[in-house]
Each structure stands twice: as structure tokens, then as C-alpha cells.
């Protein structure tokens, strides 16, 4: 992508607003940040490209990890996170996560999030790579939806928070290393708008839709990473894409997530012959870290010459399935599968981005006034492989730290002169290009297919180079500036796909969510991060 901005614009000709906080994204990280800002007297606008409920948060099943059990401690949680992170976690970031997490979760409960209880005692489940029961869950396997409900209700009834749905953020407005606001596109009125602020928070979520098979909602197209990178913001660890081991694998069904909590409750993984196999790959069997379970599943498929394995919930008993996994049970039933009697066909699918916009421990980027938290951000808390159910916790812990950091700055809400001008006017010289209409929907599907084929759970140098060549040709096809917001979305997908592929090619080893078939070992000299920045 050569352009500094996706489209031509002139801020002096556009509607303008000024806010203390402009927050991009309406998942847990964005809405919680807005809530904390309002608690300190700040006013925030939350921009979300579809509805307030469209986020990865609402799809989270398993729960939120927090060390509050009598047999648990932040130190145990710290150790489990570091082990899962495969040697690349930022120790200080993890320490912050596990120690500040309990207080943040208590705040969620105060807001109105209703987690499952037994006689007034919070129930704690167990998931892969956790040494203790520490997973809070809600409505069995609908934890994210419950958190989303509570935060959305709070935001929509808070006079200090305004949620603007159908607002696609096109680009950041940055000058002399300072972020002054964002250029957004109102998809309802089809009008560009400017939102000025000295505190812009990226909380736009992940990148799952870059892959044909994924567990993410349609909005997860990597927009936040793309707009940040275009603006000169550093991104880090982009090669570490997490593939969830168990996504529903039926021809007529989407890759619906089958929560890790199912294995935490005792479900077994079986190969096509009905044999349990995880005991042969790791001492924790089904509860091994996600990257190991994915690798084991792929090996088992290869050895048995099968395209799937199975997750057997039937051994849990009808009562536990009804109580703990009603969402999974009803979804499978819709597709004709009775999980109480039949094993679920599953396969790995793209799930989570460990990398993202590089930040420090306060959510600050290398651009003053620009912050990031949640899945779009990378401060090193997940390392090369995220520990199950740490993602929701990350959003609230570092969202809180951003607001507190902002308030420590003298005159944090210094007014921005609305008359200042940002503009971009790229002249297209080639008339043939002007008259050529790019097929952005075709580009979208092509990106997903290429990522699936060459930048999936198993990677090679030849495949990655092939992917980069294809993406470069796609850039030429997309030289016509996008007009509609969904075309801009495809441009963002292409940008992020290139970043992931480039980083994956650079890391000549295998670690966590990044497996190179041509470099299968983890190497001590690669215990470092890859940081990419546009020049």
C-alpha cells in the first residue's frame, strides 16, 4: 500500500466534532475504556463500524481468567501465562495483567455482569494450560455475550458516552508525531466526518476475517492495525496468529467455536478411528496450550489421512452439557448433531491475533495521543501463544491503565483548533486505471484463500513468498481508490495480510502460534520481537 491515506479528503470541507476521547471499537476494551473515562468525568465517543453488539467480545464463550480462587494466586496465573507464551511474553505486562485483573473483574460485576454462581459463590472453570480453576463464565458458555450486554447497557445509559454506530474509521489524523483525531465514514449518510481529540484509543479488535475459516464475526478485518501502520505506528509480533484447535467442521456450517472449556470439563479429542490421541502429544493431554493442541490435531489428521478429528462431550453427561454448554449444544443441534450422543467434528480455525499495534504498559504507542488496547494492541502480554481466556482480561486491565495514564498528563484535554487543515489529494495519472473498476469483493475472497493456503497453521518459505507475490499483484488491481466503506475494509485486509506474511517469513523458527515446516525448532536467538514500521 503506497498511499498515506485511503481516500482523498479535506477536513475544512467536512463536518467536525471535538471530544475528550475518541474510542474506536465497541467490544470489551472500547466500552470499558469509555466507562472508566466517564467515571473520571471525561466525555467519550465510541465509533463502531456496524452495531455496538458486533464484536469478538460477544462471541467469547469460555470465560475470563482471573486468580480469585482459594487455591489460586496471581503468581500461579503469571506462571501459566508465561509458559503458554512460549518464551516471548513481556514479564512486566503479564505481572500487571494477573495482579490488576481481580479488581477490574470486580468492577465488571459492579457494572452488572452476571457470572455463574452456586449458592452465591462464583463458579470457576478450567481451560487449556491453566494449572488452576480460574475461568469465570456466564450462562454456561455465553460469557462474552453477558459482558457485552452489561457494558453496552452501561454505555447507552451514560450521558458522558455517545455510541456512534455505522461509523467506519478511515484513517488517523497525525502530524509531527501527534495524533489529533480520526477521519470517519458514516455508512448510513455516506458522508465523511472528522472527530478531533487529543486522546484516540484503538480498540478495534482482531483479524480473523483475513482467513477463509475463522471463529470471528464479520467485523474482524484488522482495520485498527492497518490504519495505525499507514500512519507510521509501530506494529509487533504480527506472525503470531492463534488458531483455535476446535471449530465446528460441518460442510453446511460456519466455523463455530467449540469452547476450550469443553475440554476443561473433561471432553476428549478423538481421531477418525475413535481413539483418544492427545495423551501421546503432551502431558496435559487435551489441556495442553493451544498451539500444541493445534499441531497435534494436524499431525493426527495427516497420519490418519482424515480432514477432521472429533470432540466427545457425551462423556460429560446430559446434565452438565445442558448447564455448561447450552449454546454449543443448541448450535450443533441446529445442524443436526446431538452432542449428547455424537462426537463433534472439529478442525483448527483462525481465532486470535497475539500481535498488533505496539504499546507500552500504559497503552501508549509511538505516536503521542494515540493509544491501543484489546486484541488490536500488543504489549507482549500473550507472547507467541495466548493463554485461554486472558483476552477479555487484557482489554479491561489495559483500558483502565490508558485512562489513568491520560489523566496524569497536564492539560490532557487541551482544545484543538478546528480550523486546522488535514488534506490528501492523490492524483491518478493513468487514465486506464481511472476507468478500471476494481472488484473488491473478489479481492476479499482471494485474500482469505491465500492466507488459508499459505499463511495458516503450517508455513513454509516458498508458500510465504508466493503469498507476498500474490498480494503485490492485488495491490496493482486495487490502485483505484476505494469509494465505499466495505472497499476500504478490503484495503485494510490486504495491508494486514502483507504484514502477517512478511513477519512470518522473517521469523525462521517455530514458536507458539507460528509454525515453519522448514524451520521446525524454537531457537534461543529468536527470543525477540519483530517490529514493523512504515517509513
pLDDT tens digit sequence for 131-144: 999 999 999 999 99
* 39 C-beta neighbours (distance < 10 Å), count: 13
Q: Is 257 helix (H, G, I), strand (E, B) or coil?
A: strand
Q: For 387, which DSSP code?
A: P
Q: For the residues 467-479, what does the mean pLDDT come to?
A: 84
The verdict on residue 533 lying in a domain is: no
| In a shared domain, residues 397 and 520 | no
Angstrom distance (rounded) from CA 484 to CA 499: 23
For residue 483, which of 156, 78, 191, 167 has the smallest C-alpha distance?
191
Measured between its terminal Cα atoms, the distance across the chain in Å is 12
Assign 432 a pLDDT band (cuts: 50, 70, 90): very low
Element (H, E) at 351: strand 344-353
| In a shared domain, residues 209 and 260 | no
Angstrom distance (rounded) from CA 259 to CA 198: 39
Tell which wins on pLDDT, 41 or 411.
Answer: 41
On average, the pLDDT of the chain sits at 94
Give backbone dihedrals phi and psi of 396, rounded to 5 degrees, phi first.
-80, -35
**DSSP characters for 475-502?**
HHHT-SPP-SHHHHHHHHHHHHHHHHHH
* 428 C-beta neighbours (distance < 10 Å), count: 12
Q: How far is CA 22 from the centre of its chain?
A: 19
Q: Which residues are catalytic?
A: 290
The verdict on residue 413 lying in a domain is: no
**Could you tell me the three cell numbers for 143?**
460469557
Please report the pLDDT score of residue 437 as a whole number.
63
| In a shared domain, residues 184 and 285 | no
Angstrom distance (rounded) from CA 426 to CA 377: 30
**Could you tell me the three cell numbers for 228?**
495505525
The verdict on residue 336 lying in a domain is: yes
Please report the pLDDT score of residue 429 as a whole number.
47
Please report the pLDDT score of residue 212 as a whole number.
95
Q: For the residues 434-449, what does the mean pLDDT come to?
A: 83
| E strands in 166-240 | 167-175, 178-186, 191-196, 200-202, 235-236
* Spatial contact of 126 and 137, defined as CB atoms under 8 Å apart: no
Q: For the residues 158-164, what does the mean pLDDT come to?
A: 98
**Could you tell me the three cell numbers for 64?**
475470563
Write down the residue that cell numbers 495491508 correspond to.
Answer: 495
Rounded to the nearest 10 degrees, how much is the dihedral formed by the CA atoms of 480, 486, 488, 491?
-80
Please report the pLDDT score of residue 481 as a whole number.
80
| E strands in 176-330 | 178-186, 191-196, 200-202, 235-236, 241-248, 268-270, 309-312
pLDDT tens digit sequence for 81-129: 999 999 999 999 999 999 999 999 999 999 999 999 999 999 999 999 9
Q: Residue 311 pLDDT > 50, yes or no?
A: yes
Per cent of the chain over pLDDT 90 is: 91
| In a shared domain, residues 27 and 176 | yes
| In a shared domain, residues 305 and 320 | yes
The verdict on residue 423 lying in a domain is: no
Q: Residue 246 pLDDT > 90, yes or no?
A: yes
Element (H, E) at 379: none
Q: Residue 412 pLDDT > 70, yes or no?
A: no
Please report the pLDDT score of residue 252 as a whole number.
87
Domain containing 66 — which CATH number? 3.50.50.60
Angstrom distance (rounded) from CA 188 to CA 488: 15
Please report the pLDDT score of residue 476 as a whole number.
73
Q: Residue 255 pLDDT > 50, yes or no?
A: yes
* Spatial contact of 44 and 155, defined as CB atoms under 8 Å apart: no
For residue 25, which of 270, 356, 280 has the smallest C-alpha distance?
356
The residue range of the domain holding 484 is 429-526
| In a shared domain, residues 331 and 388 | no
| In a shared domain, residues 332 and 435 | no
Q: Residue 274 pLDDT > 80, yes or no?
A: yes
Question: For the chain, how many structural domains are there in total?
Answer: 3
**Prediction pTM value:** 0.96
For residue 398, which of 376, 373, 369 has the smallest C-alpha distance?
373
The verdict on residue 422 lying in a domain is: no
| In a shared domain, residues 443 and 402 | no
The verdict on residue 57 lying in a domain is: yes
| E strands in 99-215 | 117-118, 121-122, 124-125, 135-136, 161-164, 167-175, 178-186, 191-196, 200-202
| In a shared domain, residues 164 and 309 | no
Please report the pLDDT score of residue 198 as a whole number.
87
Q: Residue 416 pLDDT > 70, yes or no?
A: no
Q: Residue 454 pLDDT > 50, yes or no?
A: yes
Q: Residue 415 pLDDT > 70, yes or no?
A: no
Angstrom distance (rounded) from CA 104 to CA 403: 13
The verdict on residue 1 lying in a domain is: no
Burial of 119 (0-12, 13-18, 19+ CB in 10 A): exposed
| In a shared domain, residues 290 and 214 | no
Tell which wins on pLDDT, 434 or 246.
Answer: 246
Pairing outcome for strands 235-236 and 531-532: antiparallel
Assign 475 a pLDDT band (cuts: 50, 70, 90): confident
SS3 content of the chain, % helix, strand, coil (to 5): 40, 20, 45
Tell which wins on pLDDT, 481 or 482.
Answer: 482
Specify which residues 244 forms β-bridges with: 349
Please report the pLDDT score of residue 435 as a whole number.
47
Contacts of 365 (CB under 8 A, 6+ apart): 228, 233, 234, 357, 358, 359, 371, 372
Assign 479 a pLDDT band (cuts: 50, 70, 90): low
| In a shared domain, residues 364 and 339 | no
The verdict on residue 531 lying in a domain is: no
Please report the pLDDT score of residue 339 as a whole number.
98
pLDDT tens digit sequence for 46-92: 999 999 999 999 999 989 999 999 999 999 999 999 999 999 999 99
Element (H, E) at 64: strand 64-65
| In a shared domain, residues 270 and 400 | no
Domain containing 269 — which CATH number? 3.90.700.10
Amino acid at each position: 500500500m503506497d498511499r498515506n491515506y485511503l481516500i482523498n479528503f479535506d477536513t475544512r470541507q467536512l463536518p467536525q466534532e471535538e471530544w475528550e476521547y475518541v474510542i474506536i471499537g465497541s467490544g470489551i476494551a472500547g466500552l470499558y475504556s469509555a466507562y472508566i473515562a466517564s467515571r473520571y468525568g471525561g466525555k467519550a465517543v465510541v465509533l463502531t463500524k456496524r452495531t455496538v453488539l458486533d464484536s469478538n467480545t460477544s462471541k467469547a464463550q469460555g470465560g475470563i481468567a482471573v486468580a480469585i480462587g482459594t487455591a489460586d494466586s496471581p503468581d500461579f496465573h503469571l506462571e501459566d501465562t508465561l509458559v503458554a507464551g512460549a518464551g516471548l511474553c513481556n514479564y512486566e505486562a503479564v505481572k500487571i495483567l494477573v495482579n490488576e485483573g481481580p479488581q477490574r473483574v470486580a468492577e465488571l460485576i459492579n457494572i452488572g455482569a452476571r457470572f455463574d454462581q452456586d449458592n452465591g459463590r462464583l463458579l470457576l472453570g478450567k481451560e487449556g494450560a491453566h494449572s488452576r480453576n480460574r475461568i469465570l463464565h456466564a450462562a454456561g458458555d455465553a460469557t462474552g455475550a453477558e459482558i457485552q450486554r452489561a457494558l453496552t447497557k452501561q454505555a447507552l445509559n451514560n450521558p458522558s458516552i455517545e455510541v456512534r454506530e455505522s461509523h467506519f474509521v478511515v484513517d488517523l489524523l497525525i502530524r509531527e508525531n501527534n495524533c489529533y483525531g480520526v477521519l470517519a465514514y458514516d455508512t448510513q449518510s455516506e458522508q465523511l466526518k472528522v472527530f478531533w481529540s487529543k486522546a484516540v484509543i484503538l480498540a478495534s479488535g482482531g483479524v480473523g476475517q483475513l482467513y477463509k475459516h475463522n471463529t470471528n464475526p464479520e467485523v474482524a478485518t484488522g482495520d485498527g492495525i492497518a490504519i495505525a501502520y499507514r500512519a507510521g505506528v509501530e506494529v509487533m509480533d504480527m506472525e503470531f496468529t492463534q488458531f483455535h484447535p476446535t471449530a465446528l467442521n460441518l460442510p453446511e456450517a460456519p466455523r463455530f467455536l467449540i469452547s476450550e472449556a469443553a475440554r476443561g470439563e473433561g471432553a476428549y479429542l478423538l481421531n477418525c478411528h475413535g481413539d483418544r490421541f492427545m495423551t501421546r502429544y503432551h502431558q496435559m493431554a487435551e489441556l495442553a496450550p493451544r498451539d500444541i493442541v493445534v499441531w497435534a490435531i494436524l499431525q493426527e489428521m495427516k497420519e490418519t489421512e482424515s480432514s477432521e478429528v472429533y470432540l466427545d462431550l457425551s462423556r460429560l453427561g446430559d446434565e452438565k452439557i445442558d448447564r455448561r454448554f447450552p449454546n454449543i449444544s443448541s448450535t450443533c443441534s441446529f445442524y443436526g448433531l446431538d452432542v449428547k450422543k455424537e462426537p463433534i467434528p472439529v478442525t483448527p480455525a483462525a481465532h486470535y491475533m497475539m500481535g498488533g499495534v505496539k504499546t507500552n504498559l500504559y497503552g501508549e504507542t509511538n505516536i503521542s495521543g494515540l493509544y491501543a488496547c484489546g486484541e488490536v494492541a500488543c504489549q507482549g502480554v500473550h507472547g507467541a501463544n495466548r493463554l485461554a481466556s486472558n483476552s477479555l482480561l487484557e482489554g479491561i486491565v489495559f483500558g483502565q491503565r490508558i485512562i489513568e495514564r491520560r489523566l496524569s498528563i497536564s492539560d490532557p484535554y487541551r482544545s484543538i483548533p478546528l480550523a486546522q487543515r488535514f488534506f490528501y489529494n492523490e492524483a491518478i495519472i493513468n487514465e486506464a486505471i481511472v476507468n478500471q473498476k476494481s472488484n473488491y469483493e473478489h479481492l476479499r475472497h482471494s485474500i482469505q484463500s491465500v492466507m488459508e493456503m499459505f499463511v495458516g497453521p503450517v508455513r513454509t518459505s516458498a508458500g510465504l513468498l508466493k503469498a507476498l507475490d500474490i498480494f503485490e499483484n492485488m495491490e496493482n488491481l486495487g490502485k483505484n481508490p476505494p469509494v465505499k466503506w466495505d472497499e476500504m475494509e478490503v484495503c485494510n485486509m490486504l495491508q494486514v495480510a502483507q504484514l502477517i506474511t512478511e513477519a512470518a517469513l522473517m521469523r525462521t523458527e517455530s514458536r507458539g502460534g507460528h509454525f515453519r515446516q522448514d524451520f521446525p525448532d524454537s531457537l534461543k536467538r529468536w527470543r525477540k520481537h519483530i517490529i514493523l514500521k512504515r517509513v
